[in-house]
Amino acid sequence: MTKYYIEELSKYDGQEVEIKGWVYNKRSSGKIKFLLVRDGTGIVQCVIVKNLVPEDVFEKFDLLTQESSLIIRGKVRKEDRAPGGYEIDTTDIQIVHIAKDYPITPKEHGIEFLADIRHLWLRSTRQHAIMRVRHEIIRSIREFFDSRGFTLIDAPIFTPAACEGTSTLFETEYFDLGKAYLTQSGQLYGEAGAMAFGKIYVFGPTFRAEKSKTRRHLTEFWMVEPEVAWNDLNDNMELAEEFLEHIVASVLKNRDKELKILERDITLLQKVKKPLPRISYSEAVDILKKNGIDFQWGNDFGGTDETVISSQFDKPVIVHRYPAEVKAFYMKRDPENEKLALAMDILAPEGYGEIIGGSQREDDYDTLVQRIKEHNLPMEAFEWYLDLRRYGSVPHSGFGLGVERTVAWICGLEHVRETIPFPRMIYRLTP
Ligand code: 4AD
Ligand code: MG
């Protein structure tokens, strides 16, 4: 039997179809009643005319409440004023389940109220649009790497040590083996993958016990991390800008309807084309000072600093060569200035902050051993990682892109809590 979906109604103009869905809204004006039905792919208006349907079908309309499930039959008719371009002239209604007092009504609700019923909130038009953009971003990420010969390497989630600084580790008891930590990044395993496969990407959930309650922080988020053998910092920046261009172009092409629902101004997104502006950390500090911010060279940028720096550009901006002291142990130092790490971050425009963090990696065995000691990290846990510098070490680079911050930026959202189906933050573990 043919399955009909609202998104595909244009294929069935003039034909009888059957839509299985839920009541989104309804209104009536005497002898004509209107049901807005959603099926997950879209919303369609079904028209019920008193003289054209059996009495009982007309009466069923009154029983239907918001989010009641139903099967509705009727003829597809082109209607230019309808949101999807088509309406259904109803011939039959079959009620499947009556929803009682659905808690989300067309009126405004507070954000905490909605967050508590996130499992239902996902049905709303706006959340629906955001999740479809998220899916497109993830699809285009995979497409980008898959079409360029990268191999997907899945990194473990239980890990024996920190990757990105010990202050944000979630720990758990691991049988007789002591403590395990939820991964902060799959990068170290990605490096092993790059030495085996040349170019790889890791894509999975990552965890940070961030004490920050900002609009950019989650405790569980998704990160995609390419790692490429023989790439230096410059190659890394080139890969990142080509990657961002691809993601944004894919969303503009395939999710224009959703961006419209979100009322996203797409003129800035259309500018996301390589090359992206590149400035050094020191140049970024000069920008801060010029804007009256009292900033000390050597510190890491905070959210406000990132906003000021990125507001100077109408595209994402690459900031490179940070002070090594504020960056991770694995980053290679700049041979021209030992104080600097061969790091690069990409800051999104419009105040969305850092969406990409990456670097060239330290490939010298002795230097890396020294860094592990300086950072007071447990040497035993890194023995396997040091093997990558014992057996055929080569220059290599990679970066990590945070999916949720990217969704927030592309959708133009105020907070990352709307970018993932079920957000996890320090003050939220449910639903
Ligand atoms: O800059 P980060 O910490 O870099 C790494 O983890 C590297 N190991 C990546 C690599 O080189 N392979 O994190 C990368 C990105 C950030 O730019 C940001 O987009 C996102 O991950 N991110 C977060 N997103 C949401 N909530 C948080 N708490 C985040 N922390 C980082
Ligand atoms: Mg970072």
Residue-wise pLDDT tens digits, 22-65:
999 999 988 999 999 999 999 999 999 999 999 999 999 999 99
Of residues 148 and 107, the one with the higher pLDDT is 148
Q: Counting atoms of ligand 1 from 1, which one is nearest the CA of 355? A: 19
Q: Which long-range contacts (CB under 8 A, 24 or more apart) does 374-379 make?
A: 374/329, 375/329, 376/166, 377/161, 377/162, 377/166, 377/329, 378/161
Mutational pocket test of ligand 1: of 141, 213, 223, the residue with most ligand atoms within 8 Å of the beta carbon: 223
Q: Are residues 158 and 256 in the same domain?
A: yes
**What is the span of the domain harbouring residue 71?**
6-97
Q: Is residue 104 part of a domain?
A: no
306 CB within 6 A, ligand 1: no
Instruction: Read off the pLDDT band of 107 (50, 70, 90).
Output: confident
In angstroms, the CA 194 to CA 226 distance is 9
**Final residue of a structural domain among 62, 97, 132:** 97
Q: Strand, coil or helix: what is 140?
A: helix
Mutational pocket test of ligand 1: of 141, 243, 326, 405, the residue with most ligand atoms within 8 Å of the beta carbon: 405
Q: Is residue 109 part of a domain?
A: no
Q: Is residue 102 part of a domain?
A: no
Residue 1 has pLDDT above 90, yes or no: no
Among the bound ligands, name the one nearest to the CA of residue 184. 1
Neighbour-count burial for 352-373, b at 16+ CB within 10 Å, e otherwise: bbbbbbbbbbbbeeeebeebbe
Predicted structure pTM score: 0.97
Ligand 2 centre distance from Cα of residue 227 (Å): 16
Q: Are residues 345 and 231 in the same domain?
A: yes
Kindly report, residue by residue over 274-290, the tens digit of the pLDDT: 999 999 999 999 999 99
242, two tokens: 């080509």
Residue 170 has pLDDT above 90, yes or no: yes
Q: Counting atoms of ligand 1 from 1, which one is nearest the CA of 400? A: 9
Ligand 2 centre distance from Cα of residue 185 (Å): 11
Q: Are residues 152 and 263 in the same domain?
A: yes
Residue 142 has pLDDT above 90, yes or no: yes
Kindly report, residue by residue over 171-216, the tens digit of the pLDDT: 999 999 999 999 999 999 999 999 999 999 999 999 999 888 899 9
Q: Which long-range contacts (CB under 8 A, 24 or more apart) does 310-314 make?
A: 310/347, 310/348, 310/349, 310/350, 310/351, 310/352, 310/353, 311/349, 311/351, 312/287, 313/277, 313/349, 314/268, 314/271, 314/349
Q: Are residues 278 and 188 in the same domain?
A: yes
Q: Counting atoms of ligand 1 from 1, which one is nearest the CA of 345? A: 17
57: domain CATH number? 2.40.50.140
Among the bound ligands, name the one nearest to the CA of residue 153. 1
**CA of residue 56 relative to chain centroid, distance:** 47
Kindly report, residue by residue over 89-103, the tens digit of the pLDDT: 999 999 999 999 999
Q: Is residue 423 part of a domain?
A: no
396 CB within 6 A, ligand 1: no
Residue 84 has pLDDT above 90, yes or no: no
Ligand 1 centre distance from Cα of residue 400 (Å): 6
Q: Are residues 299 and 164 in the same domain?
A: yes
Q: Is residue 107 part of a domain?
A: no
Q: Are residues 253 and 336 in the same domain?
A: yes
**Final residue of a structural domain among 29, 62, 97:** 97
313-330: average pLDDT: 97
Residue 247 has pLDDT above 90, yes or no: yes
From residue 359, alpha-carbon distances to 73, 99, 126, 395, 396 in Å are: 57, 53, 36, 11, 9
334 CB within 6 A, ligand 1: no
For ligand 1, atom 9, name the residue with the nearest CA: 400
Q: Is residue 110 part of a domain?
A: no
CA angle 80, 85, 88 (to 5 degrees): 105
For ligand 1, atom 22, name the residue with the nearest CA: 402
Provide the phi-psi class of 373: left if phi over 0, else alpha when psi is between -120 and 50, else beta. alpha
Residue 83 has pLDDT above 90, yes or no: no
226 CB within 6 A, ligand 1: no
235: domain CATH number? 3.30.930.10
Please give the pLDDT value at position 292. Answer: 96
Q: Are residues 158 and 242 in the same domain?
A: yes
408, two tokens: 């927030």
Q: Are 86 and 44 in contact (CB under 8 A)?
A: yes
Q: Are residues 67 and 153 in the same domain?
A: no
Q: Are residues 170 and 312 in the same domain?
A: yes
Q: Is residue 198 part of a domain?
A: yes
Please give the pLDDT value at position 30. Answer: 86
Q: Counting atoms of ligand 1 from 1, which one is nearest the CA of 225? A: 12
Kindly report, residue by residue over 289-308, the tens digit of the pLDDT: 999 999 999 999 999 999 99
For ligand 1, atom 1, name the residue with the nearest CA: 357
217 CB within 6 A, ligand 1: yes
Residue type, 118: R
Ligand 2 centre distance from Cα of residue 402 (Å): 10
233-244: average pLDDT: 98
Q: Are 137 and 159 in contact (CB under 8 A)?
A: no
Indicate the average pLDDT of the chain: 97
356, two tokens: 């990409």
Ligand 1 centre distance from Cα of residue 223 (Å): 7
Query: Structural domain tally of the chain?
Result: 2
Q: Are residues 202 and 333 in the same domain?
A: yes
Q: Residue 223: name the closest of 154, 136, 307, 302 by CA.
A: 154
Q: Are 333 and 375 in contact (CB under 8 A)?
A: no
**Final residue of a structural domain among 65, 97, 129:** 97
Residues 6+ apart with CB under 8 A from 157: 182, 183, 204, 205, 207
Q: Are residues 179 and 226 in the same domain?
A: yes
Ligand 1 centre distance from Cα of residue 354 (Å): 8
In angstroms, the CA 110 to CA 218 distance is 20
Please give the pLDDT value at position 397. Answer: 99
Q: Is residue 1 part of a domain?
A: no
Q: Are residues 65 and 201 in the same domain?
A: no
